[in-house]
Structure 1
């Protein structure tokens, strides 16, 4: 059993269905579902970099929308991201993410992917400052 409190207007995705709280709400989930809260949800328009596309594909695979297609996209995006990681720590984060996804643990993979987004942003920041 999982108890979730939602603020007014907060989004929630359950098994691919987008819900939005009207007023302050509390839900009790009594069975296993694929669930994402507002801050964990990424729109296609927000998938503007390799790590963000990786997050989006992982999110879609987790929610069960055409999982094989999104699993292939996860592999493709990870293949593009690994060479960009310029530190051992960044490459190790890629390996942690890949292990979680290979085990089918997409939800924890999303958390690991948020770290990859931070690494990618850090790598890109000096390049953007030089431009």
Structure 2
């Protein structure tokens, strides 16, 4: 099933590890086969991984956009997830952590990223970083 990306002028995205930027007009890109794609808003820079959940998201993101190098990032993921799970008591959040881990073991990194976004949302709500109703990982600046 093709993936249709509607791009804003100048919007960046990662396609199979390559950073691509749209031109000065809105554009549409249709991917006919499976590819690793992340929009600019879903890309976390290492310097922005300042919270436990974001430190989980970062290696999962790297495994997704660089699957050939996944083993390089997996150990960091395991360490960060272990630290996170060691302090969480919420059963639903712990279940999401298990789901994320399972997805990583199955190399289904995109689904793992979706789970990581839920962890970030939980963390942000607990820390009072965003008002309820704001999607995970989205700053309202």
Range of TM-score over shorter length: 0.7 to 0.9
Q: Which structure shows the higher helix fraction?
A: 1
Q: Deviation of residue 121 (structure 1)?
A: 2.6
Partner residue, 1:103? 106
Partner residue, 1:54? 56
Q: State the secondary structure of the residue aligned to 2:6.
A: strand
1:92 and 1:54 mapped to 2: Cα distance?
15
- Unaligned runs of at least 5 residues, structure 2: 129-141
2:121 and 2:32 mapped to 1: Cα distance?
34
Q: Deviation of residue 124 (structure 1)?
A: 3.5
- Unaligned runs of at least 5 residues, structure 1: 126-131
Paired residues in the alignment total 126
Q: Deviation of residue 90 (structure 1)?
A: 1.4
Normalized against structure 1, the TM-score is what? 0.87
**For residues 31-110 of structure 1, what are the structure 2 equivalents within 5 Å?**
31-64=33-66, 66-110=69-113
Partner residue, 1:119? 122
Normalized against structure 2, the TM-score is what? 0.82
